């Protein structure tokens, strides 16, 4: 059954006309798919790590058994266009943030309908009435469900200095989740450390995302979510919305022109521990 789910998601990504720029170039490449057990202790831990407002799978769907998670890698031409940017995201990146995420919403709904048609119950937390955004005094900018943390639980990647998820297809992507009562075999979490794929934490090298941030929201201390939000949802749309024709622009500069853009990066250290 796990392979059937992967095939259904992969087929929708490959064939949907919603996953395309006007010229036919896809927003996203072939997806990665993983599964987390709804009763994985991590989801209880997230109420401590993220905050008590973060909901467990069973709080979205009574009798939940599995969280289906996917990674939609952003297409190479779009990533290349954003590598060249220094201050604002590229037009292609911004269109992917708006129209690519609309496709991602369609994928969430499609998978829920597909599971329901097979006699299962399912819900996409991001589209459920229980989902909400909030500013928590401890967690800062947050929400009642984190698709990044669900994807980590499903073995799809580990966290980076900029708080994003570095997967085997890199950090430039969008994520999606569906909670279902269908019991699927959980995907293994191979790295022992939740930041293993980030070179800054793994070996003390890199940190290139810091220099890519045009607003100073990244530093060795981590990610200033409030400064990032003000830039992404304030300064960037004000500067490029009229030109690009989209109001949800994203930014993604720290996700491109970095070693983890499209893969888990190899070491930047020479033998003996010196920086290459």
Position 272 pLDDT exceeds 80: no
Q: 139 vs 234, which has greater pLDDT?
A: 234
Comparing 191 with 35, the larger pLDDT belongs to 35
- Confidence label for 131 from pLDDT (cuts 50, 70 and 90): very high
Residue 222 pLDDT > 70, yes or no? yes
Q: Residue 238 pLDDT more than 70?
A: yes
80 has a pLDDT exceeding 90: yes
Q: What's the pLDDT band for 15 if we cut at 50, 70, 90?
A: very high
**Mean local confidence (pLDDT), 157-170:** 97
Rounded to the nearest integer, the mean pLDDT of the chain is: 94
Per-residue pLDDT of 170-213, as tens digits, reads: 999 999 999 999 999 999 998 889 999 999 999 999 999 999 99
Q: Output the 3-class SS for the chain.
A: CHHHHHHHHHHHHHHCCCCECCCCCECECCCEEEEEECCCHHHHHHHHHCCCCCCCHHHHCCCCCEEEEEEEEECHHHHHHHHCCCCCCCHHHHHHHHHHHHHHHHHHHHHHHHHHHCCCCEECHHHCCCCCEEEECCCEEEECCCHHHHHHHCCCCEECCCCCEEECCECCEEEEEEEECCCCCCCCCCCCCCCCCCHHHHHCCCCHHHHHCCCCCEECCEECHHHHHHHHHHHHHHHHHHHHCCCCCCCCHHHCCCCCCCCCCCCCECCCCCEC
pLDDT of residue 192: 83
Q: Round to the nearest angstrom and report the end-to-end CA distance of the chain.
A: 45
In degrees and rounded to multiples of 5, residue 147 shows phi and psi of: -70, -25
Q: What is the pTM of this model?
A: 0.94
Q: What distance in Å separates the CA atoms of residue 80 and residue 93, rounded to the nearest whole number?
A: 10
Binned at pLDDT 50, 70 and 90, residue 141 comes out as confident
Tokens of 123: 């819900």
What average pLDDT does the segment 225-253 reach? Answer: 95
Percentage of the chain beyond pLDDT 90 is 91
* Domains in the chain: boundaries: 2-255
Q: What is the pLDDT of residues 87-100, one digit of tens each?
A: 999 999 999 999 99
125-150 mean pLDDT: 84
pLDDT at 248 over 60: yes
Rounded distance between C-alpha atoms, residue 113 and residue 119, angstroms? 10
Residue 137 confidence (pLDDT): 47
């Amino acid at each position: 059954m796990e392979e059937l789910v992967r095939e259904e998601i992969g087929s929708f990504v490959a064939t949907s006309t919603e996953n395309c720029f006007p010229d036919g170039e896809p927003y996203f490449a072939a997806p990665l798919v993983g599964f987390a057990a709804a009763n994985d202790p991590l989801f209880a831990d997230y109420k401590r790590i993220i905050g008590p407002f973060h909901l467990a799978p069973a709080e979205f769907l009574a009798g939940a058994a599995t969280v289906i998670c996917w990674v939609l890698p952003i297409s190479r031409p779009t990533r290349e266009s954003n590598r060249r940017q220094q201050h604002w995201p590229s037009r292609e990146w911004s269109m992917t943030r708006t129209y690519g995420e609309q496709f991602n919403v369609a994928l969430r709904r499609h998978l829920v309908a597909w599971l329901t048609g097979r006699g299962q119950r399912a819900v996409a937390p991001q589209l459920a009435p229980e989902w909400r955004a909030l500013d928590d005094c401890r967690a800062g900018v947050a929400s009642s469900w984190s698709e990044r943390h669900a994807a980590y639980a499903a073995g799809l990647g580990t966290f980076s200095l900029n708080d994003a998820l570095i997967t085997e297809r890199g950090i430039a992507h969008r994520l999606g989740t569906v909670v279902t009562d269908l019991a699927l075999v959980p995907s293994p979490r191979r790295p022992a450390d939740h930041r293993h794929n980030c070179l800054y934490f793994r070996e003390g090298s890199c940190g290139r995302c810091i220099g890519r941030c045009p607003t100073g929201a990244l530093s060795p201390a981590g990610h200033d979510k409030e400064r990032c939000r003000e830039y992404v949802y304030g300064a960037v749309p004000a500067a490029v919305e009229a030109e690009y024709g989209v109001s949800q622009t994203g930014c993604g500069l720290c996700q491109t022109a970095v070693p983890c853009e499209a893969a888990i990066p190899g070491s930047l250290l020479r033998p003996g521990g010196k920086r290459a």
